Structure 1
Amino acid sequence: MENERQRGNPPGLTNNYVAQNVRKVRQSIGMDLRSLSEKLTEAGRKLSVSGVSKIELGDRRVDVDDLTAIAYALGTTPAALLAPPEGDTAFTGVPTGHTTEEVQAWLGGDAALTQAGLVAYWQQQAQDAQFEIEAAKLKLESLSGQGAAADLFRPHYEERIERFRARLQESNLRLLELDPAARPFSES
């Protein structure tokens, strides 16, 4: 039995996500393999029908130039093609333990998957929740004494306050998981 030499690392989870997402997006817009191949060639990134098919099957790795060109040709974003299936947070080479929201924030460029990056992200989420609570409270106060018409809007702002209170609590809990010494945010 002869040993076959393998060059580089084998395709991992992220490659599988890209393969699935390329196929899903292409099919959702009704584009066939040939049309995608032609669009890529027009964009200056020649990729045969066979090459596109191999990408979708996970048999061909996607480099960053392919990824950006395919995203452009499909009318989507590179981040959308990299995204894991709903609820999955694992990526090749990335430690597990991140929430779906954290992974989405990372893919969107809103947070680094480091302790400092995630602490900053959740601090910002808590501050945003505080702001929304205060804004809704002020609106409720302005409705006071405005009559029956204002009563129509009151439940909306009360629900908004409760929703952002829950968001503030969620943000504080995750913040304290990441950094037990962090100062939790409170409603003013």
Structure 2
Amino acid sequence: MSDAITHYRQLRELTIDELAYVLLMLDHPISADVLAEMERCVRPVTVDDLAAIAYVLETTPAVMLSHVPIDMPEPDGPLATGLPNDADQAELRAWLEGKTTLDREARVNWWKERVARLRVRAAHHEEQLQGAHAELRELGDLTLQEADALPVQCLQYRIRDGEHALNQAEFALALTAQRLDNFPEDV
């Protein structure tokens, strides 16, 4: 929670003093010192504090609760005490937002939907990449003669970006499909 407060406060370009002032104006006074203690994980955040801070930072309590710092190493256990060991951040956020439950059937369905979405994303990137290749082929010899021309360079950038996006989508799809295939029976 402490990193979430810091992250979203900085994202909104607010100082601790400014956040404290806005909270005061909303009749939820939290001093800058107390906010600093919350950010350092020295002081716990109440549900009321969480709701008010999330509101001011233009996010939701669920997003703040499910925030995992980008530099946090992969946890050895669950993201939170009492949750399934294999629940990841996206699944946790979906549960916190009431979009899924954490029983086995709902979790399997959630992962199946995730695989389906990734398949659509990969197909979209593949289609975009094929279109860019077709445009480049239509230019024919011009691509060799005018390789430094802006339209040719733009197509080459689109192809390179498309190949990268397709690789990322296919990699995510493979990992997600593998996770679904290996989903534990006892969850």
Specify the TM-score bucket, using the shorter chain as the normaliser.
0.5 to 0.7
TM-score w.r.t. the length of structure 2 is: 0.62
Gaps of 5+ in 1: 1-17, 182-188
What is the Cα deviation at residue 177 of structure 1?
Answer: 2.0
Structure 1 75/176 Cα, relative in aligned 2: closer, same or farther at 3 Å? closer
Structure 1 residues 50, 127: closer, same or farther in 2, change over 3 A?
A: same
- 1:29-86 deviation per Cα after TM superposition (whole angstroms, max 9, x unaligned): 45235x43332132233435565355333432321x4223112334555425641222
Q: Using a 3 Å threshold, how does the CA distance of structure 1 residues 37 and 136 change in structure 2: closer, same or farther?
A: same
Relative to 1, partners in 2 of residues 1:157 and 1:62: Cα closer, same or farther, differing over 3 Å?
Answer: same
Q: Distance in 1 between matches of 2:165 and 2:16?
A: 44
SS at match of 2:44: coil
1:153 equivalent in alignment to 2:154: yes
Question: Could you tell me how far apart the structure 2 residues matched to 1:81 and 1:144 are?
Answer: 50
Query: Which residue of structure 2 lines up, in the alignment, with residue 8 of structure 1?
Result: none
Aligned pairs, how many? 161
Give SS of 1:145's match: helix
Is it true that 1:175 corresponds to 2:164 in the alignment? no
Identity of aligned residues (%): 17
RMSD: 3.7
Gaps of 5+ in 2: 144-148, 183-187
1:44-55 matches, within 5 Å, as 44-48=27-31, 51-55=34-38
- Distance across 2 between alignment mates of 1:167 and 1:108: 27
Pairs within 5 Å for 1:25-174: 25-26=8-9, 29=13, 31-33=15-17, 35-48=18-31, 51-56=34-39, 57-63=41-47, 65-74=48-57, 78=61, 79-80=63-64, 82-86=66-70, 87=72, 88=74, 90-99=79-88, 102=90, 106=94, 112=100, 114-146=107-139, 147-148=142-143, 149=149, 150-174=151-175
